[in-house]
Structure 1
Amino acid sequence: MAIASSNRTSRIGVRIASEVLAAVKRAAEIQGRSISDFVAAAAQDAAERTITETQIIRLSLEDQQRVADLLLNRPAPSPALTRAFEAHRQLISEEK
């Protein structure tokens, strides 16, 4: 997602090693962007990737098969779950 320069109203400051700055300058030059534009876009990409990764549940093939099996062949509720469900039902009916 491109960052519109007219929407820039906030500022951050970062101290980085000189070799990191050199790499950032070089990468910005390669893309034909200012250092500020390059860093802002890279930070936004990293932030969006991090947020997306926290919203995705990754399962191994074995775990995917286990989940599908449990959905298709639901086990009987445990006694504790049955008691909890009944307590919830009574609580909800008492509130009405």
Structure 2
Amino acid sequence: MTSPLFLFSISGLICLFVLSLQRKHLLMSLLTLEAFILSMAILIPMSIMFQNQVNGMFAIVLLTMGACEASLGLSLLVLMTRSYGNDLLKSITKNLC
């Protein structure tokens, strides 16, 4: 039987791998960043719990930073879609003056 710590660490590594592959659309990059933050929000408190140092405040701070990252990413996505008409990352470099 596999450990939950192992599963969440593997999911974090998979998210980083997918993030390195998703360079076409900004929305897919933001979704993989959110999946990474959620896997780390579960992994870090679980690893602290196995060391008998329960600190619930750290998980709350991590989830708060993840929510801030999500709101900034969505605002950038909306701004980019309104300016360029799509969320393709290569359309940013085409419109240089």
Q: Given the two structures, how large is their TM-score scaled by the length of structure 1? A: 0.32
Per chain length, whose mean CA-contact separation is higher, i.e. which structure has more relative contact order (CA < 8 Å, sep 6+)?
2
Q: What TM-score, normalized to structure 2?
A: 0.32
Q: Max radius of gyration: which structure?
A: 1
Of Structure 1 and Structure 2, the greater helix share is in 2
